[in-house]
Each structure stands twice: as C-alpha cells, then as structure tokens.
A = this chain, B = another copy of it.
C-alpha cells in the first residue's frame, strides 16, 4: 500500500517532469525545424515553462510532503525505488530552495547576454569582448556556490550539479594520476616517428549518403526507431521526452566522413542509456542518468571503445566502401583504422583524440577552480590557457578563438561541468573491462556487427538503475571498486602500442 503523502509527492513531481519534458520538446524543435523567425516567441515559452516548473518543484506543498515522509523513509530499505526517489527529490528540493529567485533570474539574464557576446568574441577572436561578462558570471557562480554551501572546496558546490556527491579533492587526485600517465604516452607517440595517412578522410562524401549510413549504424547498435529518430542540427545532441521517445541529432558535412559516424555512435550511446531505463521510471525523477559523467561513459563506450576499434571496422569498412566506392578505393582497412586513431597535439577539445582529450579538460578544471577560489583573474585567462596548452599538450594556440574562447560552457554558466567528460572516459573503460570479464568474445562479436550482448550488459548493469544511485555508488555496484583511471591508461597504452609501436 502506498502512503498518501508519497502518492501526492509523486504526482506533483510527475507534473514537473512533464513540464521539463515539454521544454525539451520545444528546444528540440528550435534546433531542428523551427522557422528562422520563431526564436523570440520560443524563448518566452521556454522561460514561462521553466518558471512554472521551478515554482511547482520548490513549492511549500512539496516541502511539507518531504518533511512528512522523512521519518517514514528512515525505516525503509534504502535500495528500494521509493527510497531512492525520495532521496533524490529531497536533495534537489533542498538545493533548489537554497537559490533565491533573484539569483536565478540574474544568472539567467546575464548568461543570455553573455552567450551572444561569447559568439561575437569568438568570431572576432577577441577575449576582451567577452571578459566583462565572464567576470560577472564568475561572481554569480561564486554567489551560487556560497548559497548552496560546501564543506571543503567552493568548487564542490558546482560540481555537485553534474556529479552528485563528488568532491573537488577526489577529482584533483584523479586528474593528477591521469596526467602522470598521459604525458609519457603523448611523448612516446610524438617520438615514435610513425607516419599515418589521412588524406582520404577529407574527400567529398555526399551528406545524404552519410545520413543513410549513420541510420544503418544506429539500427545495428539497437537504437529503437519506434522510440526515437535521427534529425539534422548544427550540433549533435540527444534528448529524451520519455523512455519511449529518445531522439538523437547529427550533422552531415560535405567532407570529413568520420564526423557524422562518430557523432551517431556517441549520441546513440547516450540514447541507449535513456531507452534502457525501465518504464516504471517514466514521469519520475529517476528517469535520468546517475550523473553527467556516467551518461558520457555510455556515449564514449560506443564512440571510442567500440567505434574506434579495429574489430568494429572489420565489419563496417567494407560496407562504408560500398557507400563510397570512389572515395575509398585506394584505402585499406588498416589505413582507415590508423587514420581514425591518429594522435596529435591540437587546440580544440571536441576534435581531440582519445589520448590528449583529458589534458584539455584538466586545463579547464584547474582554471575553473582557480577562478572560483579567486586565485585566478579573468583577465589572465588567455595567457594561462596558452601556457598550459603548451605544457600539457605541446600546442600553443594561435589566437583566442582556438584557445580560451572555444567552449560555450562558461557563457552558459556551466561551471563544474568539464570534469564529467573525463569521468565519462575513465568509466567507459572500467565498465567495458567488467563487461569483457563477463562476455569474453565481445570484440569478436563487433567484427560480426553484433552488439546485443554488450548493449544488454549495459542495460542490465547500468541503465536499469536510472538515477537511483550516486555515481560513486553505481561504480562500486557495477565493477566492485571505486572510480580509477588506471584501466583507462592501460587501455590507451595497449591500443596505441598497436598503432605507434611499444609505448
């Protein structure tokens, strides 16, 4: 029998989730099909719905129901769905009610302006256009963190939005371990002298054929087109309106065949997470990933561990050649595999290879912590950025556009987000290693274009839990040990020794 108060709380939260999903539909439409002049009205619609969702979730009725249920849940199995749901609602309610409506409105107004200024600054490659707005955002982020409160580091309060419960000290330790392992790998690759042919990646590939090819990949992955679809947008993303409506988007350029393929694998990986959640979580606060990092681990598994493996292309390369016989007639499977795994010091994070990628996020993490602790000034960011790029990656950005201005995150007030990308990479290997212990012939299956065993393993071990667990709890549950960058480093050493010689 369900408690009346619990039933009421669930109903109230379900309505908030409905509104949040409606907003997601409005945003999806804005990116896919909205006519050019529809944007102004759309912004008002989204602002109104966001305000209503916030008011409803932080209402005193919700507060009263939480207080009423508190004693009840002290005696319940903490692993039950209801207990997990209650914990998450309580946690989000307490965080949301700590932020004053005035602060939320100021953040929203400032970031709306800052976003446009960032676009302009990046276009002009001139950090000074964006700097005054970033200074305001840094102040607002500090105010936000102070409102939310923290025990050790002010940055903890911000990271908690993306990785519930994860502390800055822990992230710092993980990054330090990663950095120590990565720098020698980068160096060994640089000194290997191995030449990799890449000319064919940039030939002309018909976008419509690329679209058809990515559909084939998504289908084989087990992405369910009864419960989703792939549309075209300026930047690929995944969005979920329910466990039965999870959509991906992609972009198709004339050249660079690999961009759309790896985006399909990446977004398809995110989508399988949401599609893999049980229907009972629909319209609840548990219909979400354990964290941004755990979500990213699913997309990175498909994009990198599966999608950049030789076995994956053993199956797909002959098929890609059928789609593009002219463009690939002079290319071997081995050449293709090496080209998509080429490692080089490069300026842009989103285009970085698997090896250097996490040094890009490390740099951002360090700068964000410095800004939050008031140890770094906004005006000094360009020089600090470039110096660390040179130190960590061996590349010195030519200008602000390919340096400090490359990411949209800061203009949106997304401080504390970057560590999730690296957590995603680390976890992808920890999870996959465990899957490989359970199913030893996974790679052989990939060579036959078969992914159902891997997908089902991920569903039953990770997806079915939705947002029940904190990330560290889930990792412990799935692999039986805490988050650990060593398996990721070992994976890189082994894989890249095969391409660049003993590392």
Tell me, rounded to whole Å, the shortest Cβ–Cβ distance linking A117 to chain B. 24
Most chain B C-beta atoms within 10 Å of own C-beta, residue among A28, A37, A227, A231: A37
Q: A19-B48, A29-B29 are in contact. Are A41 and B229 (CB under 8 A)?
A: no
- List the B side residues contacting A47 at CB < 8 Å: 18
Q: Which of A149-157, A241-249, A447-455 contacts B (4 or more CB under 8 A)?
A: A241-249
Check: A119 CB closer than 8 A to any chain B CB. no
Q: Is A34 an interface residue (CB 8 A)?
A: yes
Asked if B231 and A41 sit within 8 Å, CB to CB, the answer is: no
Judge if A45 is at the interface, Cβ distance under 8 Å: yes
Residue contact A41 to B241, C-beta cutoff 8 Å: yes
A48: chain B residues at CB < 8 Å are 14-15, 18-19, 22
Q: Check: A179 CB closer than 8 A to any chain B CB.
A: no
Q: Tell me if A's interface is mostly helix, strand, loop or mixed.
A: helix
A228 at the interface (CB under 8 A from B): yes
Query: Which of B34, B42, B227 has a CB less than 8 Å from the CB of A38?
Result: B227
Q: Whole-angstrom distance between the alpha carbons of A126 and B227 in the complex?
A: 34
A42–B227 contact, CB under 8 A?
Answer: no
In the complex formed, the residue of B with least CB distance to A279 is B40
* CB nearest neighbor in B for A21: B45
- Is B45 a contact partner of A226 (Cβ separation < 8 A)? no
Q: Is the CB of A33 within 8 A of B231?
A: yes
Quick one: closest B residue to A33, CB to CB? B229
Across the interface, do B244 and A40 meet the contact criterion of CB distance under 8 Å?
yes
CA distance A229 to B241 in the complex (A): 23
Q: Can you name the residue of chain B whose Cβ is closest to the Cβ of A283?
A: B44
Q: Judging by beta carbons under 8 Å apart, are A26 and B22 in contact?
A: yes
Chain multiplicity (copies)? 2
Report A227 CB to chain B, min CB distance, Å: 5
User: Closest Cβ of chain B: how far from A433's Cβ, in Å?
Assistant: 34
Contact partner of A42 (CB less than 8 A), chosen from B32, B34, B45, B245, is B245
Asked whether A225 is an interface residue with its Cβ less than 8 Å from the other chain, the reply is yes
CB distance from A57 to the nearest CB of B (A): 13
Q: What is the CB-to-nearest-CB distance from A186 to chain B, in angstroms, rounded to a whole number?
A: 43
Contact check, B229 vs A35: say whether CB atoms are below 8 A apart. yes
Does residue A193 face the partner (Cβ distance < 8 Å to B)?
A: no
Chain B nearest CB from A383 CB (Å) reads 43
Inter-chain contact B22/A45, CB cutoff 8 Å: yes
Task: Give chain B nearest CB distance to A228 CB in angstroms.
Answer: 5
CB closest chain-B residue, reference A44: B18
Which chain A residues in 286-338 approach chain B with CB under 8 Å? none
Docked-complex contact B25 and A242, CB < 8 angstroms: no
State which of B41, B52, B241, B242 has its C-beta within 8 Å of the C-beta of A245: B41
The minimal Cβ–Cβ distance linking A197 to chain B, given in whole angstroms, is 41
Contacts of A33 in B (CB 8 A): 32-33, 229, 231
Indicate with 1 or 0, residue by residue over A116-135, a CB within 8 angstroms of chain B CB atoms: 00000000000000000000
A40 — nearest CB in chain B belongs to which residue?
B244
Do A41 and B226 touch (CB < 8 A)?
no
* Interface status of A82 (Cβ within 8 A of chain B): no
Chain B residues with CB under 8 Å of A229's CB are: 33, 35
| Interface pair A242/B38, CB less than 8 Å apart | yes
B29 touches A25 (CB 8 A): yes
A36 within 8 A of B: yes
- Taking the complex as formed, is A49 at the interface, i.e. its CB lies under 8 A from any CB of chain B? yes
The yes or no answer to A354 lying at the interface (CB within 8 A) is no
- A282 at the binding interface (Cβ < 8 Å): yes
Chain B residues closer than 8 Å to A45, beta-carbon distance = 18-19, 21-22, 25, 241
Closest to A23 in B: B22
A272 to B127, CA, bound (A): 45
Roughly how many angstroms separate A157 CA and B44 CA in the complex, as a whole number? 34
When distances are taken between beta carbons in the complex, the residues of chain B under 8 Å from A15 are 48, 51-52
Q: Is the CB of A18 within 8 A of B49?
A: yes
Chain A 1-32, CB within 8 Å of chain B: the 1/0 string? 00000000000001100110110011011001
Q: Is the CB of A245 within 8 A of B35?
A: yes
Closest 9 CB pairs of A and B: A41-B242, A38-B245, A18-B48, A37-B244, A18-B45, A37-B227, A15-B48, A22-B45, A36-B226
Known: A22-B22, A22-B45. 8 other contacts (CB 8 A): A15-B51, A22-B48, A22-B49, A25-B26, A25-B29, A36-B226, A38-B241, A41-B244
22 intermolecular pairs with C-beta atoms under 8 Å apart = A14-B44, A15-B52, A18-B44, A18-B47, A19-B48, A19-B52, A21-B45, A22-B26, A22-B45, A22-B48, A22-B49, A25-B45, A29-B29, A32-B33, A34-B245, A35-B225, A38-B227, A40-B242, A41-B241, A41-B245, A42-B241, A44-B283
